[in-house]
């Protein structure tokens, strides 16, 4: 190769290197995954499983950082301030992303202006449960009993604005029953009163309800998924049993980053996340938590957040639920 040819080749190589997208060399260092909930809980376990898989796929360590508080909003507030370079991500929840914006009066963030949706990760349908001592063995008998005793039955939730609070209000308004909401500080606090029969029903996660169902302390009447679920084969859905065609109460998690992330990095992350969560191993792991992989594109995650906002906003208005500060 003569000097002229070599020089031309060097210039071409330099031009090519400057034209390569950022994703071609991403990631060059460890990635931080911020989780807005405490270590050891179901969301944290899913996040750590994903982080381990992503570390292998991306060839860089994905470090989990727990930043609990304000239903995941503290984590969101910290992540939205970071550089949009793909090195700080968050595992967001349906409560944080789709309920907080429509349940709170003075929300201090805008999901679509301050964050970049990247990929959905996992979801889990609630079970509609009653105490083992309950006379109700189906949704129809529960609704009939509630109508015969207006105001005498109650349902528990993890607190005002929780997914299972809104699910209960939706069920109440659509079936035309008068049933009192009893908010607790988390599902675990509600379980003891439910088992003792001091509360008549609740929407609970599978992981919280299953041990009590197995031990004969609680009964599941239906699953609140948008169709038959492999997590509970053969169990009827709330929608089918109640006649509320579009009824589903399925909290979910997804990965997001700061606003204005490069499309190439979003694609790289979405591909890696999808590959990790599409394996049989992922399905088996999530099944132990009463969850299922939730696979989709970045645009599909954004659309899901919007549709969930619309759904829960409608429930809040129809049930006349008072927004909080």
CATH number of the domain bearing residue 294: 3.40.190.150
Classify residue 42: in a domain, yes or no. yes
The pLDDT value recorded for residue 105 is 83
Torsion angle defined by CA atoms of residues 157, 251, 106 and 82, in that order, rounded to the nearest 10 degrees:
140
Classify residue 213: in a domain, yes or no. yes
CB 238 within 8 A of CB 204: no
- Domain closes at, from 199, 227, 249: 249
Q: How far apart are CA 293 and CA 289, in angstroms?
A: 11
Using pLDDT thresholds of 50, 70 and 90, give the confidence band for residue 319. confident
Express each pLDDT in 33-44 by its tens digit. 999 999 998 999
107 phi/psi in degrees, rounded to 5: -75, 130
Alpha helix ranges (H) inside 37-186: 42-58, 73-79, 94, 100-103, 111-114, 139-148, 163-175
Q: Is 287 helix (H, G, I), strand (E, B) or coil?
A: helix
Provide the residue range defining the domain that includes 236. 126-249
The single residue listed with the structure tokens 């083992």 is 132
Decide: pTM greater than 0.85: yes
- In this structure, the strands spanning 252-258 and 115-123 are antiparallel
CB 64 within 8 A of CB 52: no
Per-residue pLDDT at 15 exceeds 50: no
Q: Give the pLDDT mean for 23-46.
A: 91
160: number of Cβ within 10 Å:
13
Classify residue 3: in a domain, yes or no. no
Using pLDDT thresholds of 50, 70 and 90, give the confidence band for residue 16. very low
Together in a domain, 132 and 223: yes
Using pLDDT thresholds of 50, 70 and 90, give the confidence band for residue 291. very high
Per-residue pLDDT at 5 exceeds 50: no
Number of domains in the chain: 2
Q: Give the pLDDT mean for 156-161.
A: 93
Per-residue pLDDT at 177 exceeds 60: yes
Together in a domain, 178 and 230: yes
Q: Give the pLDDT mean for 285-313.
A: 96
Together in a domain, 31 and 114: yes
Q: Which helix (H) or strand (E) holds 258?
A: strand 252-258
Express each pLDDT in 131-149 by its tens digit. 999 999 999 999 999 999 9
Together in a domain, 293 and 265: yes
Using pLDDT thresholds of 50, 70 and 90, give the confidence band for residue 1. very low
Together in a domain, 223 and 171: yes
- Looking up residue 163, the CATH number of its domain turns out to be 3.40.190.10
Give the long-range contacts of residues 230-234, CB within 8 A, separation 24 or more: 230/292, 231/124, 231/125, 231/206, 231/287, 231/290, 231/291, 231/292, 232/127, 232/206
Q: How far apart are CA 61 and CA 29, in angstroms?
A: 8
The pLDDT value recorded for residue 189 is 87
44: number of Cβ within 10 Å:
18
Together in a domain, 135 and 161: yes
- Domain closes at, from 221, 249, 277: 249
Classify residue 99: in a domain, yes or no. yes
Per-residue pLDDT at 22 exceeds 80: no
Together in a domain, 229 and 291: no
Per-residue pLDDT at 321 exceeds 90: no
The single residue listed with the structure tokens 């998924």 is 225
Q: How far apart are CA 3 and CA 43, in angstroms?
A: 60
Percent of the chain with pLDDT over 90: 83
Per-residue pLDDT at 204 exceeds 60: yes
Express each pLDDT in 85-110 by its tens digit. 999 999 999 999 999 999 988 888 99
The pLDDT value recorded for residue 9 is 46
| Residue 325 or residue 319, greater confidence | 319
Together in a domain, 235 and 313: no
Q: Between the CA of residue 29 and those of 26, 55, 232, 322, what are the distances in Å?
A: 8, 11, 41, 46
Classify residue 8: in a domain, yes or no. no
Q: Is 235 helix (H, G, I), strand (E, B) or coil?
A: coil
The pLDDT value recorded for residue 24 is 59
The pLDDT value recorded for residue 256 is 98
Classify residue 193: in a domain, yes or no. yes
Classify residue 170: in a domain, yes or no. yes
Together in a domain, 206 and 310: no
Together in a domain, 232 and 194: yes
Using pLDDT thresholds of 50, 70 and 90, give the confidence band for residue 323. confident
Q: Give the pLDDT mean for 24-47.
A: 93
Classify residue 174: in a domain, yes or no. yes
Together in a domain, 132 and 244: yes
Percent of the chain with pLDDT over 70: 92
| Residue 319 or residue 205, greater confidence | 205
- Domain closes at, from 207, 227, 249: 249
The pLDDT value recorded for residue 181 is 96
Q: Give the pLDDT mean for 6-18.
A: 43
Together in a domain, 155 and 236: yes
């Amino acid at each position: 190769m003569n000097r002229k040819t070599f020089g031309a080749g060097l210039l071409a190589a330099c031009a090519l290197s400057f034209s390569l997208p950022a994703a071609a060399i991403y990631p060059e260092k460890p990635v931080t995954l911020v989780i807005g909930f405490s270590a050891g809980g179901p969301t944290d376990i899913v996040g750590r499983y994903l982080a381990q898989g992503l570390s292998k796929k991306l060839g860089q360590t994905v470090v989990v950082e727990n930043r609990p508080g304000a239903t995941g909003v503290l984590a969101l507030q910290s992540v939205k301030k970071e550089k949009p370079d793909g090195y700080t991500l968050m595992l967001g929840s349906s409560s944080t992303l789709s309920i907080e914006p429509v349940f709170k009066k003075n929300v201090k963030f805008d999901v679509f202006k301050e964050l970049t949706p990247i990929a959905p990760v996992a979801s889990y349908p609630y079970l509609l449960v009653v105490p083992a001592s309950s006379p109700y063995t189906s949704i129809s008998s529960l609704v009939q009993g509630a109508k015969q005793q207006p105001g005498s039955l109650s349902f528990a939730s993890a607190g005002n604005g929780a997914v299972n609070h809104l699910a209960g209000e939706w069920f109440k308004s659509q079936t035309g029953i008068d049933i009192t909401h009893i908010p607790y500080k988390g599902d675990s606090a509600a379980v003891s009163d439910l088992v003792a029969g001091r509360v008549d029903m609740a929407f609970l996660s599978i992981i919280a309800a299953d041990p009590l169902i197995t031990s004969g302390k609680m009964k599941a009447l239906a699953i609140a998924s948008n169709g038959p679920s492999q997590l509970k084969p053969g169990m009827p859905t709330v929608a089918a049993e109640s006649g509320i065609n579009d009824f589903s109460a399925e909290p979910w998690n997804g990965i997001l980053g700061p606003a204005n992330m490069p499309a190439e990095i979003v694609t790289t992350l979405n591909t890696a996340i999808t590959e990790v969560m599409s394996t049989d191993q992922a399905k088996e792991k999530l099944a132990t938590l009463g969850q299922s992989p939730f696979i989709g594109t970045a645009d599909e995650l954004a659309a899901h957040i919007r549709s969930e906002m619309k759904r829960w906003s409608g429930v809040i208005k129809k049930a006349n639920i008072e927004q909080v500060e």
